[in-house]
A and B are shown apart, each in its own frame.
Chain A
Amino acid sequence: MDELINDFIAETREMLEALSGEIVAWEAAPGDRGRLDEIFRFVHTVKGNSGFFDLPRIGALSHAAEDALASVRSGARTADPALVSAVLAVIDRIGELVEALDSGEDVASEDDAALIAGLQPNADAVLETAAAHHTNPRAARSIRLPVELLDRMMSGISDLVLARNDLARRIREQGAGGEVEGAFERASAIIGELRDEITRTRMQRIDTLFAPLPRMVRDLAGQTGKQVALEIDGADVDIDREMIEMIRDPLTHIVRNAIDHGIETPGQRRRAGKSETGTLGVCARQAGNQILIEICDDGRGIDGAKLVRRAVGAGILSAERADRLTESERTSLVFEAGLSTASEVTDISGRGVGMDVVRANIERIGGLVEIESRKGEGVRLVLRVPLTLTIIPALTVGAGERTYALPRSAIEEIVRVKASNVRVETVGGASVATVRGRRLPLVDLVQLLGVRAGDDGGRSLVILRPAGADLYALSVERIHDHEELVVKPAAPAVMATGLYAGTTIADDGRPVLLLDPPGIAARAGLALGRSESVQAESAVEPRRPGGQAMLFRALSGGRMLAPLAAVQRIHNVPAQAIKRGGGRLHVAVGDELLPLAGCGDEAPDRAISLLRLSDGAREVAYGFDEVLDIVDLPDGLIPAAAAGEIAGVVLVAGEQAELLDLHTLLAAHGAATDAVRPRPLCALPAGDPFMDAIMRPLAEAAGCRVVATGSAESAEAALVIAADEMPAEVPPGARVVRLAAPDQAGDSGAIDRYDREALLAALEGRKRATRKRRNG
């Protein structure tokens, strides 16, 4: 609606401007029928629009003017100077009201009636001066331009930038006098400024992308019988208009999916211990030259196992490979064509068509889609898209015979290998660059691309900070130049390599590939931020170790390695924390229970240390004796004879060490993590403001699932919280926490309701009791 109003304001302003000449001419010659018709058309249009927008004052004014003018047109009246003045006064007032509509100010309304009365035949020419003191339209004026014109300007300025780059190169090569160079510098700077300005004309608030969402969410929620609260953040981020169009469909699709498949019905949510209303968050923010759009829901999450089954069923994945997928790789299967976890086809999000198309669309514009799902807790999707499709500052570098471009935004610094404070060495098969004492993983561009190295053998290092990954050094053969490049999205066949972000045309007219720093890091096995596609994963077998590892002494006495990235924490636990249950060992760490590996079948009889290993979704504790060292994971893994907890053997400092196979460990033990960590059910009296507003969040923060006392589910509750008196029914085995008014606690066993420490302790205590009861 706002947009329509703005259109109305702009249109009315335009008409008024065009009309001002007509009005003056009509004043000079009131008998001129052509002028009269123009003015009549204006008031007629305004009257129609004011009805549509419900603007009664403008409506009344334009209606009165239309009536008066109609009688002139029909010949019933003549256009005498009094009528002309009155009509002009009305038109001026309409102009004022429209300006006020735009600025949000008020215009005194008392003399509207007088203006309308002035239109009557024989009215006194009371308001001749009205036109004189109307306020001028605000100084900052806006005009409307066809979008195509902006696009043509943009493409014109892009070509101009290319021509400038070409000229710059020629001036550099052939030399020119200082005066010419000075003049060129000036022109160049102006072109730069102009480009920035024109780029800005194409920017739009991302608001326009988000504006239809509330209505859509409301309608979808209604159709599916769900309750969804939409939270939008970052609507004031600016983004290229063209990008908005490219993101619109993928975003719509993701939101539909989230409501249709992600968020559960109120009943399901209640049973899962969540609030009945699901939350859908859409948030945009700018990070460097990227826009991040995050869509997260608190629904049921993506069923990775189901996806895997379908993928295997559809022949996309071999059963053997399916077993080795990490949780995030399983989730990423949603991007494969033809897979959908919804067992029913719905008319809202259909089947299968969808996430693969979403990813293709986002990647086509040089963006990335990241997905993260937690079963039962929801899905978080992040779309990373470039700020603009058009011009980016870049560094051109050489590898082999070719030139490649790197986005300058990702470049931290450039150093020469020959410099005294730079050292390049190979540690355990992996290259490492040490720059002023800082050690960085090193990727050789020539090797990575598999191109033939040039003859000179010289190298420079470009230190890159890719979005979503750690710093690394990229070794290139030559550093060419800083250039402004007009980047176009590359064809899917080129994007599929994962190495490039787009294509551009160099000064000499040859195509140049823009390298994608996060993609290169991923290909080189460095980045954590981007999950490799399933196909890429299978190509590298066995998986080449990368990064660092923790060397430790196992309980059996052997030397073992665990990839450092998977090590969350180290704990020391006493022997009694370890118990056997359900056919396997578990260890209690704080108030959590974890599956325990590394101890064989027997619970150890002494205190041990634990490595807490996780891939982000599953967790397992691995018992060990002592930490020996942190080392770079060496090359040359000799795979184990049979698949198991040991991936293979490597040499570390001349001695053998066994590398843990996290896939197997987490698959064998980690799967149980969710099952052994139920959230204890806690019943609270409903309708009590203290309980709802204070106690409930406290209980939820302590890890409980909260239900209303007396509800069907509360019969299962392990913990019942009550106000002063004992609740009528207490489920068997449940413990009761009674709350008392301040200073009334006494020795009745009730807890002062404002004694936070005691409340928390009570909640925690019951929680542990629950765990023991269920697992012991």
Chain B
Amino acid sequence: MAELFLAVRLGGDRLALRAAEVDSVVEIDALTPVPGAAAHVVGLSALRSRVLTVIDCLRSVDPSRSVAKGAREAVMAVVDGHPYALLVDAVEDVLEASGEPQPAGALTGGWRRAGRAVIEAEGDLLLLLDVEALIAGPAREAA
């Protein structure tokens, strides 16, 4: 069976995340900001009894941009035991890739860090994003 991907919309682009890395799709209500944290960490949000660390995926890739105001759809992923909500402009649908992921071409800036490969699904080419790189944000490169 071909691998499944979750298509999301981010800054006008259609991008993909590995479905296997995604826990669920959640809607973020209230945010508690984290003063002092990196800019792409927009705050904390409670989901049932868990505290999600909310990441602005667009800001993580490009510090000068951020997801649309009022965007509330997020992809929940658990990395190293910590639950994160990856805020995107919109969560679209689950896709089945046709063929293996191909190496991505020349990417620039933060896309090079977060982009992992290119997949083809339903006649569309999508850049596959790395969940851990999105969470790490630009800080890792600067260090």
Task: Provide the residues of chain A in CB contact with B135, threshold 8 Å.
Answer: 491, 493
Q: Which 5 A-B pairs have the closest CB atoms?
A: A449-B35, A497-B36, A511-B44, A491-B53, A491-B82
Say whether A522 faces chain B, with CB atoms less than 8 Å apart. Answer: no
Instruction: Contact check, A513 vs B46: say whether CB atoms are below 8 A apart.
Output: no
Determine if A503 and B35 form an interchain contact, defined as CB atoms under 8 angstroms apart: no
Q: Which of B10-18, B26-34, B105-113, B121-129 contacts A (4 or more CB under 8 A)?
A: B26-34
**Does B38 lie at the interface of the complex (its beta carbon under 8 Å from any beta carbon of A)?**
yes
Question: Taking the complex as formed, is B80 at the interface, i.e. its CB lies under 8 A from any CB of chain A?
Answer: yes
Verify B34–A500 contact, CB threshold 8 A. yes
Closest to B40 in A: A493
Of the residues B37, B51, B82, B136, contact of A505 by C-beta under 8 Å: B51
Min CB–CB distance A359 → chain B (angstroms)? 14
Q: Are B49 and A511 in contact (CB under 8 A)?
A: no
Residues of A within 8 A of B30 (CB): 510
Residue of A nearest to B52 (CB): A511
Q: Given A496-B139, A510-B30, A450–B49 Cβ distance below 8 Å?
A: no
Known A494-B37, A510-B46, A513-B44; contact A402-B137, beta-carbon cutoff 8 A: no
Q: Please tell me the size bucket of the interface on B.
A: 20 to 34
A123 at the interface (CB under 8 A from B): no
Closest A residue by C-beta to B45: A511
Q: Which residues of A contact B139 (CB under 8 A)?
A: 496
Within 8 A of A (CB), among B74-118: 80-82, 84
**A489 to B50 Cα, complex, angstroms:** 11
Q: Which residues of B contact A402 (CB under 8 A)?
A: 32-33
Q: A505-B51, A511-B45 are in contact. Are A496 and B32 (CB under 8 A)?
A: no
Chain A residues closer than 8 Å to B51, beta-carbon distance: 488, 490, 503-505, 511
Given A402-B32, A451-B35: 5 more A-B contacts, CB < 8 Å? A491-B53, A491-B135, A494-B34, A497-B36, A504-B51
B6 sits at the interface (CB 8 A): no
Q: Which residues of A contact B (CB under 8 A)?
A: 159, 162, 316, 364, 402, 449-451, 488-494, 496-500, 503-505, 509-513, 523, 535
Pairs A–B under 8 Å by Cβ, sample size 21? A316-B143, A364-B80, A364-B81, A450-B36, A491-B82, A492-B80, A493-B37, A493-B41, A494-B34, A494-B53, A497-B34, A497-B37, A498-B36, A504-B51, A505-B49, A509-B46, A511-B32, A511-B44, A512-B32, A523-B36, A535-B143
B49: chain A residues within 8 A (beta carbon) = 159, 162, 505
Interface centre among A159, A494, A503, A511 (most CB of B within 10 A): A511
Note all chain B residues with C-beta closer than 8 A to A488: 50-51
Q: Which residue of B lies closest to A512 (CB)?
A: B32
The interface residues of chain B lying within 8 Å CB-to-CB of A449 are 35-36
How far apart sit A498 and B35, CA to CA, in the bound complex (Å)? 11
CB atoms of A513 and B34 under 8 A apart = yes
Q: Are B45 and A494 in contact (CB under 8 A)?
A: no
Q: Are B45 and A496 in contact (CB under 8 A)?
A: no
Closest B residue to A502 using CB positions? B51
Residues of B within 8 A of A (CB): 30, 32-38, 41, 44-46, 49-51, 53, 55, 80-82, 84, 135-137, 139, 143
Residue of A nearest to B84 (CB): A491
Determine which of B46, B55, B84, B137 lies in contact with A511 in the assembled complex, contact meaning CB atoms within 8 Å.
B46
Partner of B41 from A451, A494, A499, A504 at Cβ < 8 Å: A494
B53/A493 in contact, CB under 8 A? yes
Query: Closest Cβ of chain B: how far from A723's Cβ, in Å?
Result: 61
Instruction: State the Cβ distance, B78 to closest chain A Cβ, in Å.
Output: 10
B95 to chain A, nearest CB (A): 28
Specify which of A490, A492, A499, A512 is in contact with B35 (CB 8 Å cutoff). A499
Q: Chain A contacts of B41 at CB under 8 A? A: 493-494
Q: Which residues of B contact A492 (CB under 8 A)?
A: 80, 82
Residues of B contacting A503 with CB < 8 Å?
44, 51
CA–CA, A492 to B81, complex, Å?
A: 11
A275 to chain B, nearest CB (A): 41
C-alpha spacing A499/B37, complex, angstroms: 9
Measured between alpha carbons, how far is A364 from B79 in the docked complex, in Å? 12
Would you call A493 and B137 a contact (CB within 8 A)?
yes
B82 to nearest A CB, angstroms?
4
> In the complex, what residue of chain B is closest to A493 when comparing beta carbons?
B41
Contact of A510 among B32, B80, B84 (CB under 8 A): B32
Instruction: Specify which chain B residues have a CB less than 8 angstroms from the CB of A159 in the assembled complex.
Output: 49
Q: In whole angstroms, how far apart are the Cα atoms of A449 and B36 in the complex?
A: 6
User: Once the chains are docked, how many angstroms separate the CA of A493 from the CA of B51?
Assistant: 13
Q: Which residues of chain B are near A509, meaning CB under 8 Å?
A: 46
Give A498 to B82 CA distance when docked, in angstroms. Answer: 17
B136 contacts across to A, CB distance below 8 A: 493
Can you name the residue of chain A whose Cβ is closest to the Cβ of B83? A491
**C-alpha gap A499/B38 in the complex (Å):** 13
* Cα-based distance from A503 to B44 in the complex (angstroms): 9
Closest to B34 in A: A494
Task: Report Cα–Cα, A494/B139, bound state, in Å.
Answer: 13
**Cβ-closest chain A residue relative to B36:** A497
Distance A449 CA – B30 CA, assembled complex (angstroms): 20
Which residue of A is nearest B50, CB measured? A488
Residues of B near A494 (CB, < 8 A) are 34, 37, 41, 44, 53
Closest to A155 in B: B49
Please name the residue on chain A nearest to B82 by beta carbon. A491
List B contacts of A496 (CB < 8 A): 37-38, 139
Residues on B with C-beta less than 8 A from A450 are: 35-36
**Of B32, B38, B80, B82, which contacts A513 at CB under 8 A?**
B32
Distance to closest chain B CB from A230 (angstroms):
32
Q: Which of A491, A492, A503, A523 has the most CB of B within 10 A?
A: A491
CB closest chain-B residue, reference A402: B32
Complex Cα–Cα for A492 and B139 (A):
12
Closest to B43 in A: A511
Q: Please give, as numbers and ranges, the residues of chain B lying within 8 Å of A505 by CB-CB distance.
A: 46, 49, 51
Contacts of A451 in B (CB 8 A): 33, 35
**Residues in A neighbouring B80, C-beta threshold 8 A:** 364, 492
CA gap between A512 and B84 in the complex, in Å: 16
Smallest CB–CB gap between B76 and chain A, Å? 13
In Å, the complex CA distance between A316 and B136 comes to: 17
Collect the chain A residues with CB atoms within 8 Å of residue B35's CB.
449-451, 497, 499
Residues of chain B within 8 A (CB-CB) of A535 are 143
* Distance between A338 CB and nearest chain B CB, rounded to angstroms: 11
**B38 contact set on A, CB distance < 8 A:** 493, 496
For B33, the chain A residues whose CB sits under 8 A away are 402, 451
Please, how many angstroms separate the alpha-carbon atoms of A316 and B137 in the complex? Answer: 18
Q: Which A residues touch B50, using CB under 8 A?
A: 488
Q: Shortest beta-carbon distance, B53 to chain A, in Å?
A: 4
Give chain B residues whose Cβ lies under 8 Å from the Cβ of A512: 32
Measured between beta carbons, the chain A residues less than 8 angstroms from B37 are 493-494, 496-497
| Cα(A523)–Cα(B37), bound, Å | 13
Question: A510 vs B33: C-alpha distance in the bound complex, in angstroms?
Answer: 11
Give Cα A161 to B46, complex, Å. Answer: 17
Point out the residues of chain A lying under 8 angstroms from B53, CB to CB. 490-491, 493-494
